[in-house]
Structure 1
Amino acid sequence: METRKLPIGIQTFEKIRVGNYVYVDKTAFVWKLVSSSAPYFLSRPRRFGKSLLLSTFESYFEGRKDLFEGLTIGQLEKEWNVHPVLHLDLNAEKYDSPEGLYAILDRYLKMWEDRWGRGDGESTPAGRFFDVIRRACEQTGRGVVVLVDEYDKPLLQALGKDNALLEDFRDTLKAFYGVLKSADRYLRFVFLTGVTKFAQVSVFSDLNQLSDISMWPDYATICGITLEELKDNFQPEIEQLAATNAMDVGEVVKKMTTLYDGYHFYQNAPGVFNPFSVLSVFTSKVFGRYWFQTGTPTFLVELLKQSDYDLRELLDGVEAPASSFTEYRVNVDNPIPLIYQSGYLTIKEYDKEFQNYLLAFPNDEVRYGFMDFLVPFYTSLAEDERGFYIGKFVQELRVGDVDAFMKRLRAFFADFPYELNTRTERHYQVVFYLVFKLMGQFTGAEVRSGKGRADAVVKTPKYIYVFEFKLDGTAEQALKQIDDKGYLLPYSVDNREVVKIGVEFDANERNIGKWLVE
């Protein structure tokens, strides 16, 4: 079977089309957007196809009809007018000083000025930007197209680390992007992308004409791959993946859906697969955590370090009105907006009556990758040790060795460094939570933080384990609560052996103390 070329890591539309790479046709969205002259903004997570989308706009406005043959827009467009295009990409740079941002803007401005000329009166980046837009329009007689990729990258790199630098970046970018309003009469089309839409840093305060299409239903699938697109465009790759892994095609699609699908950018909109993970699994033929392993953004790491947010709520899903997560406000006590906009949470349900959303992990790649990412914040275990512990936990419960499981769990807590031993009760509750949640990828493990349910339930082929932990009580009280609260009732008709485990936490030792098994 012939191996087709997959555009993994390729973000240039021309390169994909000329190189005969597989391309999922998104040009119907492009046509709809370019049919108006409104300026647009789109927020999507990293590695989700934003750069390729902007490159597609660029090729369209350069009149590259040859690149669109066979695509939807090729059947719709008749004129293919050529417009001057100013494409600013802030994605692949490191911004650690005011001079760094200025140097990047200066580099792009010089490139544009080499093409369209420069006047003697303007010296600021904003002034030069306005001047080059005006010149390009006057020289061609056509409106200018401005495309900005990852407009917020400098802001995100300074977030939580250097307020003075953040303020400097904000002032520079506010003035620079503000040109897009004052130069409106010279512009044909404007499109900005980024991870976040900041509310308090005021970058958008002068751009109130921007149409934010991030949660518009018509554009919910403009980035990413729908299930239908997966089946229509990647059938040969699905068949090869099935053959390599001794699976049938249906099993492959189901597993890919569990791992990589589930992103929703509007209530009740079709889910989309992460395109980077899809292309990666087809290339490697190994089911892995590709998007997550490209690196958790530094700004999110810093925010979580500062946050006192109860992460158990995050792991089970968070209810929130749209206003609380669509715009990011710098508040270390609520990391949810940035976690959502970064792609670690997505829309799963919508309550129309109260206009509340349920935000949760989109799929297993993100769910278990994010929990693995959290473990170092709560323990001192290295990455290879974490996998070893979780694997042993599962194996011991599968064979019914509860004592071995509890001794290993005690060792897990004993490995906490001293500074972690001074943490609050919530810290230890989160650790219990993470352990059982991570076990869930290998066995039927459920863990709850609310009242009226057992703290944790683990289901294996032979056993059902019901755990109750007491941070301020005894193992005997824990067992009694299992009985008194009827925690076993849901499993009364199950043929597996039900095992009750009551555990007490030793406050002096900061570790698991006594446990009882029935």
Structure 2
Amino acid sequence: MNFFENTSQQSFSDLILGESIYIDKTAQISSLYSNHNKFEILIRPWGFGKTLLLDTINFIFTNGREHSFLKNLSIATLETDFPKQTVLKLDFSDRRIHSAEGFKSFIHTFYKSYLFEQNIPLRLNRDLSIYWMTMYFIRAVASTSPTGRIVFLIDNYDQPFLRFLEDRIANFQDLYDEMLDFYHALYDQVEFIDWLLICGETKFALSTERHEGLPYISDVSYSDQSTCICGFSQGDIHKYFEDSIQDEAEAAGETAEIYLGRVTDWYGRYRFTPHNIPVTRPYSIKSYFSKTNYRTDFKTYYPVERFYNFLPKLLAKYGRNHERLLAPNDCGYLFSDSLDPYNINMFSLLYQLGFYSFTSITLSKNPGFQKYKYQAGMVNNEMNECYLKLVDMAENISLSR
């Protein structure tokens, strides 16, 4: 049995047509859309299937819920109205986005190609600002959409910010301003947008004191509708990995529940809402079950080397004061804070990247108001091993200064 690996090179259609198994998230998508605001952002760590989520949303709106690919999924029986309408999907991990000029070139090329492919009679002068370029483009595309509005999806929106932290962008402020111009154009064209959904690993400010950008955006990362929209719930694991769990448990001489608990200790325990609903990283558990061959040893599958260029330097710069916010202390709402690229809050960054997660969430008993008390800790053994590697690298940097 092959499980779908969540990479940007694969799509919902590839999954359905291939031999892999699609773990149905259309009910969660329906719930999210039923309660959606115009502008929303969803943050999840790497390997949770954000790209697949956006591609599934793209497929639903483009083809309609009656499409044969969807007939055996939850969405086919739900009452949520998914009108056929134009979907635009951008991926900001593109290599060209290393400068303001590169970002503008990326956007202009996308707009020009789309207009040509859809035979939309609009010519966008390359000399236009990205603000006006986007204003004209959105209006023209919406006029051809069946609903007069569009769904706009942006994947890896935070990649330019992470590249800046890696010292791979020379003049970041110019790029930041250009991106904020782009987002402000979307904001000013609100009447032509049904839904803007932005996805990434981390949450950076899309509006600043000096630049309005996108001033109003709802963070659905910690809403009930998105609890299990990315990642595998315990029910998903039981449903799709039952045979592997039973085989591995027998090889280890223990019950399936005890064995699954050990798997969860390594790759699960992510919580995104006050409800005690743990979620497991799809990439890690899929990798584990595809390579064990009846071995019960656990290892790290998370590619921590992707952080080597910036996290050790940030840990050396800011120290480990963020650890004082771990349980038993209350971390407040810092986990959901927007990051300042020039002054990083290390707790927020590490939480959003998936090193920390909720260990306890309690509701205050004060009758006058309801307030949650959040406690956080290292999420699992896999990420603890990764963190220790990064701390060791940070200490070596400090010693070499």
TM-score between both structures, scaled by the size of structure 2: 0.84
SS in 1 for 2:110: helix
Distance 1:173 1:262, change over 3 A: same
In 2, distance between residues paired with 1:159 and 1:277?
25
CA RMSD of aligned residues (A): 3.0
User: Counterpart of 1:303 in structure 2: which amino acid?
Assistant: L
Deviation at 1:243, TM superposition (A): 6.1
In 2, distance between residues paired with 1:296 and 1:368?
13
User: Counterpart of 2:200 in structure 1: which amino acid?
Assistant: G
- Give the unaligned 5+ runs of structure 2: 365-370
In 2, distance between residues paired with 1:92 and 1:235?
38
- Paired residues, what number? 381
1:217 touches 1:269 (CA, 8 Å); kept in 2? no
1:86 touches 1:146 (CA, 8 Å); kept in 2? yes
Aligned match of 2:183: 177
- Larger displacement relative to structure 2 (6-15 or 325-334): 325-334
- Asked if 1:360 corresponds to 2:371, the answer is no
2:34 touches 2:80 (CA, 8 Å); kept in 1? no
Larger radius of gyration: 1
Determine which structure has greater relative contact order: mean sequence separation of CA pairs < 8 Å that are 6+ residues apart, divided by chain length: 2
Q: 1:136 aligns with which of 112, 117, 141?
A: 141
Q: Deviations over 1:163-218 (max 9, x none)?
A: 96221121111111122221122222221112222248639944344221111123
- Asked if 1:6 corresponds to 2:25, the answer is no
Aligned match of 1:349: 360
Aligned match of 2:350: 339
User: Counterpart of 1:341 in structure 2: which amino acid?
Assistant: Q
Q: Deviations over 1:6-32 (max 9, x none)?
A: 111444111111114112111111112
User: Counterpart of 1:60 in structure 2: which amino acid?
Assistant: I
The percent of aligned pairs where both chains have the same amino acid is 24
- Give the unaligned 5+ runs of structure 1: 381-418, 423-518
Distance 1:355 1:113, change over 3 A: same
SS in 2 for 1:140: coil
Deviation at 1:297, TM superposition (A): 6.5
In 2, distance between residues paired with 1:168 and 1:318?
39
Aligned match of 1:55: 55
Distance 1:314 1:301, change over 3 A: farther
User: Counterpart of 2:319 in structure 1: which amino acid?
Assistant: D
Deviation at 1:277, TM superposition (A): 0.5
- Larger displacement relative to structure 2 (338-347 or 95-104): 95-104
Aligned match of 2:44: 44
In 2, distance between residues paired with 1:297 and 1:356?
33
Aligned match of 2:226: 219
In 2, distance between residues paired with 1:315 and 1:379?
24
Distance 1:300 1:372, change over 3 A: closer
In 1, distance between residues paired with 2:345 and 2:81?
49
In 1, distance between residues paired with 2:400 and 2:314?
22
SS in 2 for 1:291: coil
Superposed, 1:279-358 pairs within 5 Å as 279-285=286-292, 287-293=298-304, 295-296=306-307, 298-310=309-321, 313=324, 319-323=330-334, 325-330=336-341, 332=343, 334-353=345-364, 355-358=372-375
- Larger displacement relative to structure 2 (272-281 or 75-84): 75-84
Distance 1:94 1:347, change over 3 A: farther
SS in 1 for 2:37: coil
- Asked if 1:420 corresponds to 2:385, the answer is no
2:86 touches 2:146 (CA, 8 Å); kept in 1? no
In 2, distance between residues paired with 1:324 and 1:9?
24
TM-score between both structures, scaled by the size of structure 1: 0.66
